[in-house]
Structure 1
Amino acid sequence: MTLGFEDVLNGDPQRFATIAVRWDELAATVAAQREQWQAQVHGALGEQKWQGAAADLARGHIDTVGQSFAGHEQNLRQVSAVLRRSATGFADAQAALDEVRQQAANLGLVIGQDGSVAVDPAQALTAPPNPQAMQDVANRIGTAIQSANTADQQAASALDALAPGGPGTAPLTSPSSTTAPSPQAAVSKDLPPGAPAPGSDPKAVKQWWDTLSLDEKRRTADKYPYYVGSTNGIPSAARDYANRQVLDDLIANTKDEEKRKGLLKLRQNLGPGPGFPEKDIPDPGDPQHPPKLLLNVNTDGTGHMIVATGNPDSAHNVVTWVPGMGTKLNEQNADWATGIPGNIYNQTVGKDHGGSTAVIAWMDYDAPPDVGGAAFADQAKAAAPHLADFERGLNATHNPGDDPHSVLLGHSYGSSVVGETANALHGQGGLSALGVDDVIAVGSPGMDVWNAKDLGVKDGHVFASRAALDPIALSMNQMGVGAHLLDPTDPKFGAHVFDSGTGGNPQDAHGSYFVSTESLTNMSDIIRGDYGKVH
């Protein structure tokens, strides 16, 4: 069926968006059922409870059924993405048709039910017909109708491909297949019309975003999710909405198995999204159940992601945690991206503390893969401008009625990234130029600066700690100096050194800072600004 003038004029694209939400909910239900089924069936068997050939066959069958669940979930989410893009394309065509109808009225023309253009009889005597103007209006009507038909045909083809057995469906017994489904290729990576170029000042991006109506913002996020999701200066809730579409697209098209598993784990950990926000900064909600917002995701280099626990645009205490060596897009880091900020958040907010806090896992750089690479500052220097721009973006989108308490928390090589960011801003006042109030370094090999003052925050607002059994101490010589200069816990550095306990044992101590009662308690006191409690 070909759509005509009245079909486009009277269509309701919002129905597609509403149906897309229902498909998302169905996908989330399937995902929850899969997790419950695996826990109850696969987990109940255990490796020690049942062994032998029959046990191996049973477990193989169980894995196949679990993969079938995952395949269904992926296909359901792809249907949702197709419906959203169709709604956006149809709405754009309607908007173009509304504009040309207004143009026709201004020119004294009328448009018939079939889209034909004629002179308004009421104005025929006073306004002689202008053939060129009539042709221009007719051309614009034709273009709008064609755009609506294109959106409709693309959606029909994509949905047909996703029908059972269609070429776009994920094989139900092998969700790890790297075949790229055709519907997902339609996600645009282009620049929205009139939008600032990537890398522009986040303030300029926010100014542009503020010129858009709510409907325009929603359509832009649906049509250009890669731009909206990755651009600093666009509010966090809108970036999360866009990045969930990007995440689905990457899952469908990523061939690198490690990255793809990381993407799937990330989507599982995030849970279902809330839909497009009705305002730039949604109401905070229950602090005991903070939102998880996906602020960036891509498969460039080693793969990157930024995940916030709590909304940094509305929270007063905003923590950016920069992890170190081995950070990349895989299952383990996807767990850390939500789990570690969750630990910090829960300790900071707690049942008795209250407060308004957001903790961000900033995994947006190519970290050294091993100790040998971590001995050099090259990757920390390369990460510095990206971390600085992200922090500027947080400032641009934060609630203008609040002066946030900004904390940079670097773990291991991540503390070197924080230090190199300060070095890059040396002529501008260091980290204070980004609005950073406090710096925390834990398990640090050095921050590529010699003194806390070099970081550019107020005296007494640089904090450092090392667990007693953390082997990172072996990277320093007897003078406390290593490849990344002076140990931040050395008295000569000038940081406020706090207790992180022993770390349990040398094997676990380097990663103990986010599970240790001592370190988490002290860090949460710093984050809340309760400096007198830090010990």
Structure 2
Amino acid sequence: MDIKSLYDANINNITIAKNAFDALAKAFGQHVDAWQHEVADRLSASNWTGPTAGTAHGRIAELGGELQAAKQELSFVSRALANAAEQFALAQSHLINALDDAKKAKLNVAPDGRITWDNEPSSPNFAGSGAERTAIAISNRITAALTEAAHADQEISTRLSHLATNASNGTGLNAATVAQDLAAENARENIPAAGTDPNNVKQWWNGLTEDQRQKFIDAHPDRIGNLDGIPATDRDRANRITLQQAKQDLQVQLDHLGPEPPAKIAGMSGAVSNPAHDDWERRKILLEEQIKGVNAIDKRLTTKVDQNNPPTYLLGFDTKGLGHAIVAVNNPDTADNVSTYVPGTGARLGEIGGDIDRSDRMVASANAANKKAGDPRTTSSITWVGYDAPQSIVPQATKDTYARNASESLHSFESGLRTTHQGAPSNNTILAHSYGTTTVGYALRDKGLPVDNVVLIASPGVGVEHARDLGVDPSHVFAAKGDIDKIDMAFPMTADKLASNGGNNLGSWYGLIQNPDHHLIHGRDPMVPDFGARTIPTSPDTDHSDYWNDNTYSLTAMGEIITGKWNR
């Protein structure tokens, strides 16, 4: 597929052909109905009997089935042409938009896709100092559009060739063949909805051919990539397509944002803030942040795999709201130990780079624990920014709404990990930080999570009073809090809990209470003995974001827990 072919393509001709096949199928159907009524039904109602009559009745019934099969096969041609028209039109629009943007940017696109521009500042056609960056982005968009069209071309050719073969050799008159073709057509169009039980998704995916799976990935990468129950390698293939599309789309939106409006406008009593400027600035910051997150993911995905840089898999991605992403270090479908890390307040697409780094560190810590024990088993650590996390401590992180809203999606994801895992069940850990522990606690309490271990780092409360209420063996629930972490200042907002805290503190100060209780804003502090969790040691001077620092007790402990090596 080249630029001229796609640009000049008359998509309307495909629609005309589709309409012609619709008319043909309708006319053929009418003839089939007339034949059934005038021939088959009349013969069936006759009193003709005997050996010859039996043979005739049998052949007439067989012929009726063949005619119905042929009618169905004609409808498949129509569906194939309709899909082709849609896919070609979308690819063509992407190409035209890219070429229009190139023209606006004073870039010249050659028929072979090469882009040139005028570098002379005094020239009226000067493309500006950022021409190279713009040219690279537009070149990527053109390539993506041509690839999109090539996939559509291959798909329509394969489908029509198959149907033509059926027609020429007579297999299209066979009911079994038509049933297979119908199943393939329905499977091509009926992707399970988001939230479908991962077991059902896996069954659907396993029922497809490899060619059908690839077509779904090419045509609907956003839906396939975010569907729990589809293997990690396939989700990764789909999400990498979506990531590159988003990278281009975000840059286009930023480039088309327009000049900055004035910050102030005249009001009745003087200059006032300009709402247009506030909206422009908000959109600019969001786009720049999301581009930053996309680049961080892209950089990690394309890092050369070696001993210090395990392979990564993109298991989820979108730019809705502040954006979401799920990134796995090592393949969770084949790893012996699988850990899901849920970050807290401030988690979003734009900040995911630091969270991925924490997953890398946890894998390294797990590998060190295994090496020390002479254990060859492998570990995958997943960064799960699959929910809308609070973005401020006050007031957002004081609310449990964000945790409640995440329970369903976290449960689905963890269930999907169990569904797609290969071989013996893995040892699964859910590990969370700050408000992320509240999110995990609510999901464990309200939905249940199929995990073996729970690790709560710097928690403001997890919605329960006791570790046993999380639905996991309390001996596999762990908690950590640094000596200078101020998370225990996240006081509860009810009078009874505040009074309880005050009484316990006073009792402790005067030596009257040995194990003072303490409640935080989202429940009992997991660090107090009455909660029932096993406490993780932390290094001196550990603050709220220091738990993953190199050579810290907490990072070492995480690796030991994830691999089942904790024995303290």
TM-score relative to the length of structure 1: 0.64
Equivalent residue, structure 1, for 2:151: 88
| One-letter code aligned to 1:468 | D
| One-letter code aligned to 1:356 | T
Q: Which digits, 9 at most, give the CA deviation of each residue in 1:124-158, with x for residues without a partner?
A: xxxxxx9xxxxxxxxxxxxxxxxxxxxxxxxxxxx
Judged with a 3 Å threshold, the aligned counterparts in structure 2 of structure 1 residues 247 and 258 are, in CA distance, closer, same or farther, namely: farther
Number of paired residues?
373
Written as runs of structure 1 = structure 2, the 5 A alignment for 1:180-219 is 192-219=188-215
Choose which of 541, 546, 557 in structure 2 pairs with 1:522. Answer: 557
Do structure 1's residue 420 and structure 2's residue 442 form an aligned pair?
Answer: yes
Do structure 1's residue 304 and structure 2's residue 367 form an aligned pair?
Answer: no
Equivalent residue, structure 2, for 1:160: none
Computed over aligned residues only, the root mean square deviation of the Cα atoms, in angstroms, reads 2.9
| Aligned counterparts of 1:337 and 1:406: Cα–Cα separation in 2 | 19
Secondary structure at 1:362 match in 2: strand
| Aligned counterparts of 1:75 and 1:293: Cα–Cα separation in 2 | 26
Judged with a 3 Å threshold, the aligned counterparts in structure 2 of structure 1 residues 318 and 71 are, in CA distance, closer, same or farther, namely: farther
Written as runs of structure 1 = structure 2, the 5 A alignment for 1:109-508 is 192-254=188-250, 255=253, 256-271=283-298, 288-330=308-350, 333-350=351-368, 352=371, 354-372=376-394, 373-399=396-422, 401-425=423-447, 430-431=448-449, 434=450, 436-476=451-491, 477=501, 478=505, 479-504=517-542
1:107 to partner: Cα distance: 3.8
| Aligned counterparts of 1:520 and 1:81: Cα–Cα separation in 2 | 42
| Aligned counterparts of 2:483 and 2:301: Cα–Cα separation in 1 | 43
**Is this contact kept in 2: 1:472–1:510, CA < 8 A?**
yes
| Aligned counterparts of 2:418 and 2:142: Cα–Cα separation in 1 | 36
**Is this contact kept in 1: 2:140–2:248, CA < 8 A?**
no
Secondary structure at 1:502 match in 2: coil
| Aligned counterparts of 1:68 and 1:514: Cα–Cα separation in 2 | 41
1:403 to partner: Cα distance: 0.9
Structure 1 residue ranges, 4+ long, deviating more than 6 angstroms after superposition: 1-5, 272-275
| Aligned counterparts of 1:452 and 1:511: Cα–Cα separation in 2 | 24
Judged with a 3 Å threshold, the aligned counterparts in structure 2 of structure 1 residues 457 and 108 are, in CA distance, closer, same or farther, namely: closer
1:288 to partner: Cα distance: 4.2
Judged with a 3 Å threshold, the aligned counterparts in structure 2 of structure 1 residues 472 and 78 are, in CA distance, closer, same or farther, namely: same
Equivalent residue, structure 2, for 1:512: 546
| One-letter code aligned to 1:377 | D
Q: Can you give the 5+ residue segments of structure 2 that lack an aligned partner in the other structure?
A: 15-127, 174-186, 254-282, 492-500, 506-516
| Aligned counterparts of 1:370 and 1:500: Cα–Cα separation in 2 | 26
Q: Which digits, 9 at most, give the CA deviation of each residue in 1:183-219, with x for residues without a partner?
A: xxxxxxxx95132222211111111111222222122
| Aligned counterparts of 2:133 and 2:154: Cα–Cα separation in 1 | 32
Q: Which digits, 9 at most, give the CA deviation of each residue in 1:170-191, with x for residues without a partner?
A: xxxxxxxxxxxxxxxxxxxxx9
| Aligned counterparts of 1:94 and 1:495: Cα–Cα separation in 2 | 61
Judged with a 3 Å threshold, the aligned counterparts in structure 2 of structure 1 residues 273 and 449 are, in CA distance, closer, same or farther, namely: closer
Secondary structure at 1:531 match in 2: coil
Judged with a 3 Å threshold, the aligned counterparts in structure 2 of structure 1 residues 404 and 475 are, in CA distance, closer, same or farther, namely: same
**Is this contact kept in 2: 1:259–1:329, CA < 8 A?**
no
Equivalent residue, structure 1, for 2:89: none
| Aligned counterparts of 1:274 and 1:91: Cα–Cα separation in 2 | 28
1:73 to partner: Cα distance: 4.1
1:95 to partner: Cα distance: 1.7
| Aligned counterparts of 2:134 and 2:439: Cα–Cα separation in 1 | 39
| Aligned counterparts of 1:389 and 1:257: Cα–Cα separation in 2 | 33
**Is this contact kept in 2: 1:263–1:334, CA < 8 A?**
no
1:100 to partner: Cα distance: 1.9
Judged with a 3 Å threshold, the aligned counterparts in structure 2 of structure 1 residues 491 and 289 are, in CA distance, closer, same or farther, namely: same
Judged with a 3 Å threshold, the aligned counterparts in structure 2 of structure 1 residues 108 and 95 are, in CA distance, closer, same or farther, namely: closer
**Is this contact kept in 1: 2:343–2:355, CA < 8 A?**
no
Secondary structure at 1:295 match in 2: strand
| Aligned counterparts of 1:297 and 1:419: Cα–Cα separation in 2 | 24
**Is this contact kept in 2: 1:446–1:484, CA < 8 A?**
yes
| One-letter code aligned to 1:495 | A
Judged with a 3 Å threshold, the aligned counterparts in structure 2 of structure 1 residues 402 and 492 are, in CA distance, closer, same or farther, namely: same
**Is this contact kept in 1: 2:464–2:524, CA < 8 A?**
yes
Equivalent residue, structure 2, for 1:74: 137
Equivalent residue, structure 2, for 1:97: 160
| Aligned counterparts of 1:409 and 1:483: Cα–Cα separation in 2 | 20
Larger radius of gyration between Structure 1 and Structure 2: 2
Secondary structure at 1:307 match in 2: strand
Equivalent residue, structure 2, for 1:126: none
**Is this contact kept in 2: 1:307–1:360, CA < 8 A?**
yes
Judged with a 3 Å threshold, the aligned counterparts in structure 2 of structure 1 residues 347 and 79 are, in CA distance, closer, same or farther, namely: farther
| One-letter code aligned to 2:354 | W
1:375 to partner: Cα distance: 1.4
Secondary structure at 2:353 match in 1: helix
1:274 to partner: Cα distance: 8.5
Q: Which digits, 9 at most, give the CA deviation of each residue in 1:66-115, with x for residues without a partner?
A: x5554344334324422331232012112222222222223499xxxxxx
| Aligned counterparts of 1:388 and 1:108: Cα–Cα separation in 2 | 46
**Is this contact kept in 2: 1:287–1:356, CA < 8 A?**
no
Q: Which digits, 9 at most, give the CA deviation of each residue in 1:492-521, with x for residues without a partner?
A: 0000001112344xxxx1011111511100
TM-score relative to the length of structure 2: 0.61
When structure 1 is superposed on structure 2, of 255-264 and 385-394 the one drifting more is 255-264
| One-letter code aligned to 2:468 | K
Equivalent residue, structure 1, for 2:39: none
| Aligned counterparts of 1:273 and 1:346: Cα–Cα separation in 2 | 15
| Aligned counterparts of 1:397 and 1:421: Cα–Cα separation in 2 | 21
| One-letter code aligned to 1:82 | A
| Aligned counterparts of 1:91 and 1:490: Cα–Cα separation in 2 | 63
**Is this contact kept in 1: 2:195–2:409, CA < 8 A?**
no
Secondary structure at 1:514 match in 2: coil
Judged with a 3 Å threshold, the aligned counterparts in structure 2 of structure 1 residues 68 and 265 are, in CA distance, closer, same or farther, namely: farther
| Aligned counterparts of 1:352 and 1:406: Cα–Cα separation in 2 | 19
| Aligned counterparts of 2:171 and 2:223: Cα–Cα separation in 1 | 40
**Is this contact kept in 2: 1:259–1:303, CA < 8 A?**
no
| One-letter code aligned to 1:482 | L
**Is this contact kept in 1: 2:347–2:385, CA < 8 A?**
yes
**Is this contact kept in 1: 2:418–2:425, CA < 8 A?**
no
Secondary structure at 1:247 match in 2: helix
| Aligned counterparts of 1:273 and 1:242: Cα–Cα separation in 2 | 17
